[in-house]
Chain A
């Protein structure tokens, strides 16, 4: 308090403001301000009797958070749909369905993404099983390698594929003699997409598998189940929601991947353009309404993904609570095994 008034005094001296500070007009304004603040404080006090200033600052925080999410996320998302349907639904439909190149792009995205996601599902299950159920030298290194695609720029990943499979690349000449094409063709798109989404399924599965623990699988093996039986009857049902979560997210990323696919596709309209590439090409050709129409399809897909994600997360939460409850009751009744394994 003392330091505060000293500051005020020196500030007033510095600017020669004492005169104005004591001026009736100024002090009237000052008093009104103080009265307003007091009134606001009393009003917020009446809102919650527990804390005086808490409500106001909380409201400000909420407003700030809502405003930033609104400005950064909601407004852009809303404007996609507004812009896409600006000329009516018929124009939207024509932009989507009557342009053969756009139709092909949609078809290509619908074929590339599932294949990439399928690869990642197989890899994800195998890798998570390996890491969550076995201990072996190099395991930590392996886990950190899973994350590499997240820190490599998609463009760099695409470039690496071009260096391997491109016409001047490592295997390019060999591939050419067989007439096979990877770069500027479907296989390149699948490879690039797979690389970019590689960590997504494993990342979801490892924590869930580790939380569930190997007890049920061990019981099945000890009762004579073979590997496939253990997988289909125990492991898969246990991890199904986590797996679905990973697949949904990987699919969203696969459908929307731009950088890596851009580099390997050669963006040939009607041949190697996926939906995001089509959005860019239409934009470059100054056909913004058509570009927005394709973008709105992708945005709609994103919204569906989001809803699916929320539903799946609710299931996951319920299952992890069930697991915890089961653990707790195990620990209560059978102390010889309860604590050791978890």
Chain B
């Protein structure tokens, strides 16, 4: 693979045995039965069955009942807040993530490795802690709030606060998806573009961006999926006011606490459908991008 000369040039040709087919020698390995059993048991009982129960329960409401439960004005407002905040957060995460990934890969500076490690903090830090801290930072007497609130920027108990914690929670996904792709970029192409007279911004927009755009979109999708379902951090910072800062997961929980199971289930199904639809849309978009860049 990595030898500079083709091997056949140095070694006299021997009688080549036909390589055994992959299939034939994978079945020689033991453990197919038991690993299949464990895997399917877990997947069926923990993933498929619960989701099926969820859908069946929602279906048992009937179309009219479902709509009455899932399409109330308060629920619609919650979907809108969820979707809007998640889109904004995923967009911001993608932008910041692209910047951070680029800096981490392409530039040398003291503290680069520390910055690299810090990107993973949101993966390790419980989201409840993140929500708690953000809400104390951005209230009027908080570290950042004391400067921002006089300017009219309310980072706590507002939609902006929801977006902020969602960016925190989803940032690692945006960075980590783009980073390896930037690493694998061919620097020569960029240099060629520069030598041929393209400006810095032209080089970035025409040469670099098409190469990394599919990765950026994937990062966006992951960030969006994570943001749509996030509960722990948002519940601290949003204030959870119906019609204003109440997101769909919070609404589900408050319905559950009123023992309104049917309504909670219906809203959950809509939320689930929303995140699945988002994933499909982004997947299609991404495939188109990959095809275009080829």
Please report A residues at the B interface, Cβ cutoff 8 Å. Answer: 53, 57-58, 61-62, 64-66, 68-69, 71-77, 79-80, 83, 119, 122-123, 126-127, 129-130, 133-136, 142, 145-146, 148-157, 159-164, 166, 168, 170, 191, 194-195, 198, 214, 217-218, 221-222, 226-227, 230-231, 249, 252-253, 255-259, 262-263, 275-277, 279-280, 283, 288, 291-292, 295, 298-299, 301-303, 305-306, 309-310, 327-328, 331-332, 335-340, 342
Assess the B261–A163 pair: CB atoms within 8 A: yes
Contact of B99 among A61, A153, A227, A306 (CB under 8 A): A61
With both beta carbons as reference points, the residue of chain B lying nearest to A119 in the complex is identified as B42
Contact of B38 among A127, A150, A162 (CB under 8 A): A127
Whether A214 touches B99, Cβ cut-off 8 Å, given contacts A76-B130, A309-B120, is no
Assess the B122–A156 pair: CB atoms within 8 A: no
| B151 CB–A CB distance under 8 Å | no
Complex Cα distance A205/B94, Å? 27
Complex Cα distance A50/B232, Å? 49
* 25 A–B contacts from the bound complex (CB under 8 Å): A57-B200, A66-B111, A68-B99, A69-B115, A73-B118, A130-B32, A130-B36, A145-B47, A153-B268, A156-B229, A156-B249, A163-B50, A164-B53, A168-B261, A195-B47, A226-B30, A258-B232, A279-B129, A283-B132, A299-B129, A309-B124, A332-B2, A335-B11, A336-B17, A342-B1
Chain B 213-258 residues near chain A, CB threshold 8 A: 225-226, 228-233, 235-236, 248-249, 252-253, 256
Complex Cα distance A145/B27, Å? 23
Contact of A283 among B34, B100, B143, B236 (CB under 8 A): B236
What total of A-B pairs shows CB separation below 8 Å?
Answer: 290
Assess the B29–A156 pair: CB atoms within 8 A: no
Please report B residues at the A interface, Cβ cutoff 8 Å. Answer: 1-3, 7-8, 11, 14, 16-17, 19, 22-23, 25-32, 34-36, 38-39, 42-43, 46-51, 53-54, 57, 96, 99-100, 102-104, 107, 109, 111, 115, 117-130, 132-134, 136-137, 143-144, 167-168, 171, 200, 225-226, 228-233, 235-236, 248-249, 252-253, 256, 261, 264-265, 268, 271-272, 275-276, 279
Determine the chain B residues whose CB is within 8 A of the CB of A342 once the complex forms: 1
With both beta carbons as reference points, the residue of chain A lying nearest to B279 in the complex is identified as A151
| Shortest Cβ distance from residue A184 to the other chain B in the assembled complex, whole angstroms | 12
Complex Cα distance A301/B128, Å? 14
Assess the A298–B129 pair: CB atoms within 8 A: yes
Contact of B32 among A134, A226, A291 (CB under 8 A): A134
Whether A162 touches B3, Cβ cut-off 8 Å, given contacts A62-B109, A65-B115, is no
With both beta carbons as reference points, the residue of chain A lying nearest to B95 in the complex is identified as A68
| Shortest Cβ distance from residue A117 to the other chain B in the assembled complex, whole angstroms | 14
With both beta carbons as reference points, the residue of chain B lying nearest to A226 in the complex is identified as B30
Determine the chain B residues whose CB is within 8 A of the CB of A214 once the complex forms: 25-26, 29
Complex Cα distance A162/B252, Å? 12
B interface, over-half SS: helix
| Shortest Cβ distance from residue A68 to the other chain B in the assembled complex, whole angstroms | 5
Determine the chain A residues whose CB is within 8 A of the CB of B265 once the complex forms: 159, 163
Contact of A127 among B28, B39, B117, B275 (CB under 8 A): B39
Assess the A259–B231 pair: CB atoms within 8 A: yes
| Shortest Cβ distance from residue B21 to the other chain A in the assembled complex, whole angstroms | 11
Assess the A335–B7 pair: CB atoms within 8 A: yes
| Shortest Cβ distance from residue B35 to the other chain A in the assembled complex, whole angstroms | 4
Whether A162 touches B256, Cβ cut-off 8 Å, given contacts A298-B129, A332-B7, is yes
Assess the A198–B42 pair: CB atoms within 8 A: yes
Assess the A69–B2 pair: CB atoms within 8 A: no
Whether A276 touches B16, Cβ cut-off 8 Å, given contacts A135-B23, A155-B249, A328-B1, is no
| Shortest Cβ distance from residue B255 to the other chain A in the assembled complex, whole angstroms | 9
Complex Cα distance A150/B228, Å? 11
Determine the chain B residues whose CB is within 8 A of the CB of A126 once the complex forms: 34-35, 38-39
Assess the A227–B235 pair: CB atoms within 8 A: no
Assess the A331–B128 pair: CB atoms within 8 A: no
Complex Cα distance A339/B28, Å? 21
Assess the B7–A76 pair: CB atoms within 8 A: no
Contact of B1 among A73, A230, A263, A327 (CB under 8 A): A327
Assess the B7–A331 pair: CB atoms within 8 A: yes
Assess the A156–B252 pair: CB atoms within 8 A: yes
Whether A256 touches B3, Cβ cut-off 8 Å, given contacts A130-B39, A154-B229, is no
Assess the A249–B123 pair: CB atoms within 8 A: yes
Complex Cα distance A149/B235, Å? 21
Assess the A154–B231 pair: CB atoms within 8 A: yes
Determine the chain A residues whose CB is within 8 A of the CB of B22 once the complex forms: 135
Determine the chain A residues whose CB is within 8 A of the CB of B127 once the complex forms: 256, 258-259, 276
Assess the B229–A152 pair: CB atoms within 8 A: yes
